[in-house]
Amino acid sequence: MTKKIIVLGCSFFAVCFFLFGFQEQEHAEFVIINGKVFTVSEKNPLVQAVAVRDGKIMALGTDEEIKEYIGSSTDVLDVEGKLVIPGFIDAHCHMNYGGSTLSMLDLRNARKIEYIQEQIAERIKELPKGATVVGYASFPNTALFKGLGWPKKEILDEVSPDNPVLIRRMGGHAIWVNSVALEMSGITKDTESPSGGEIVKDPETGEPTGILKEAASNLLKVGSPWNPRENVEGAMEHAAKLGVTGVQTDASLNFLELLNQLKKEGKLTLRIYAWVPVHELDRYIEKRIKFGQGDENVRVGLVKMYIDGTIGVRSALMFEPFAEEPGNTGLAQYEEEEFYALVDKAHQNGYQVGVHAIGDKGVHWVLNAFERAQEIHGKKGLRHRVEHCTVVTFEDTERFGKLGIVASMQPNITGGEMYRRIRLGVERARRVDMWRTLLSNGAVLAWGTDWPVSPLNPMENLYQLVTRYYEEERLTMAEAIKYYTYGSAYASHEEDLKGTLEVGKLADMVVLSRDLFTIPAREIMRTEVLYTVLGGKIIYQKQD
């Protein structure tokens, strides 16, 4: 009898323990309540509260519904009615380079040549003798440098006769250097411009002016401070403050190894979709590193290629010459058939391809390459991408949906309407950033900043998207947010993991200071991030 009681007693306590354990298991580790939560999911677009466990969303609903998931150890964040949205995913940025610019000379807002010279002179005082001065600026700039707006080496020589100076164009694709840097690199009047680049030379003397466009910058042999770990750590901190929980960025094999090391150390606070540089494609194939390999923290992404340059440098590949430069239709980075063969190779081996294409002819070639590869090998569900996709013919916009191509675009890098008209003329200016047209033709859009070409702050893109000069191309705020979250996740084949707030998906969220859906457009830029949440953990909190 005693034995039966003991057995029954043990069974009773076992059941109680099981039920208690099960109940505890159902409690959330982190909960957001009292919010206006825009989920970006059509099934359940607006809720009040979110419950999180093991880094993923376990429930969404009203405050009353979610309070059932709160236990004694649950961290509860009352957001006091603030707007909560999925974490922003920047579909196109340069994390390593962007992080490095945080310590560079920032000359973007220079209004006088003297200011540039003063800043360089001050930086030289802080550096060891002969060390390289590195900065970034906006050029060409007719207000500062007259003519077509390109600066010359003499401006830098006046204040830096001994230290090499490298001033990168904010949009990339060109570098302004002084005479010391040219001499150290062996670049003279007799040096020929490389394929896909230009050493700009004085038309009278034939001497290099100090501007190196596109591939010509590879001729430089001047060292500059470069610490990838510091760059990444700075970039992650910067991103968290802006509500960016994921980035898609260029990454060499060495950089990919660094990211995985940071992940092992528990120091990675960004989800990273790492692009394969096309020149490393053979190494990736040889090492059997496959597209999509990795996890939600670090994943091997697309093969990144370039077909042209930029509008600012006037190296974008165009069907017709630039309005300011008759005869100049840009610089192709490859011969057409060579380019098609490279795309085919990546597609055949199962890699998603993303090609930098800004000019309308450049975009046309890219679509041709994707179409050819699909006809030969099938679509393979790879969701190839046109990166930037700035100027497009109306006929080519119709090809995106048919081919299943993602338009990965950066609304804040294409300048104002007058800038576009000066560079391209009125008709082509109308064909810049045709967001609504692309959507209506079946394209999926993904937003990025091209940081450090433009600031990483998503608010700048959101403002551009809802206030576009041509009203017919504007988007609603809901659409603008959708393609900054879901669109970017779709572009990296990760829409089942993130981009919307749904049960089972990663708990990456941002709490904003203002309601983007109700404020006037002019207040979008004043909106700040109050909290950034990654996998249910607060990685940034704005201090009062």
Q: Where are the beta strands (DSSP E) in 385-482?
A: 385-388, 406-409, 444-447
Dihedral angle, C-alpha 194, 419, 324, 146, nearest 10 °:
-80
Domain 226-541 listed as CATH 3.55.30.10: no
Tokens of 345: 């190779």
DSSP string, 234-247: HHHHHHHHTTEEEE
Cβ neighbors of 258 (< 8 A, separation 6 or more) are 228, 229, 232
- Map 166-187 to HEC letters: EEEECCCCEEEECHHHHHHHCC
Q: Delimit the domains of the chain by residue range.
A: 2-81, 104-219, 226-541
Joined together, the tokens standing for residue 219 give 């001729």
> What tokens does 77 get?
């964040």
Structure tokens that stand for 317 in this block: 């590949």
Token duo for residue 187: 């670049």
The single-letter code of the amino acid at 220 is: L
CA torsion through residues 505, 94, 91, 286, sign: negative
**Would you give per-residue pLDDT tens digits along the chain (544 residues)?**
333 333 344 444 444 444 444 444 489 999 999 999 999 999 999 999 999 999 999 999 999 999 999 999 999 999 999 999 999 999 999 999 899 888 888 898 899 999 999 999 999 998 888 889 989 898 888 888 988 889 999 999 999 999 999 998 876 789 999 999 999 999 999 999 998 899 999 999 999 999 999 889 989 998 766 789 999 999 999 999 999 999 999 999 999 999 999 999 999 999 999 999 999 999 999 999 999 999 999 999 999 999 999 998 899 999 999 999 999 999 999 999 999 999 999 999 999 999 999 999 999 999 999 999 999 999 999 999 999 999 999 999 999 999 999 999 999 988 889 989 999 999 999 999 999 999 999 999 999 999 988 999 999 999 999 999 889 999 999 999 999 999 999 999 999 999 999 999 999 999 999 999 999 999 999 999 999 999 999 999 999 8
Which among 216, 231, 228, 227 is positioned nearest to 177, based on CA atoms? 216
List Cα–Cα distances, 313 to 24, 308, 320, 329, in angstroms.
61, 11, 16, 12
Q: How far is residue 309's CA from residue 359's CA, in Å, rounded to a whole number?
A: 8
- What is residue 16's predicted lDDT score, i.e. its pLDDT? 46
Which pLDDT score is estimated for 225?
A: 66
Residue linked to tokens 């990685």: 539
Token pair in block for residue 227: 């610490």
Q: Round to whole Å and give the CA distance between 237 and 227.
A: 16
User: Hey, what CATH class is 2-81 in?
Assistant: mainly beta
For position 12, what pLDDT does the model report? 47
Provide the pLDDT for residue 20: 45
Domain 104-219 has CATH 3.90.79.10: no
Give the DSSP letter string of 318-359. -SS--SSSTT-----SS-HHHHHHHHHHHHHTT--EEEEE-S
Instruction: Provide the pLDDT for residue 227.
Output: 86
Helix axes 228-241, 253-264, angle to 10 degrees: 60
103 and 231 Cβ atoms separated by less than 8 Å: no
**Cα–Cα dist 178/213, whole Å:** 15
pTM of the model: 0.84
> What element of type H or E holds 46?
strand 46-47
Residue 452, preceding bond cis, omega within 30 degrees? yes
Residue 512: partners with Cβ closer than 8 Å, 6 or more residues away? 82, 83, 84, 85, 243, 527, 528, 529, 530
Collapsed DSSP state (helix, strand, coil) of residue 422: helix
Residue 196: per-residue pLDDT: 85
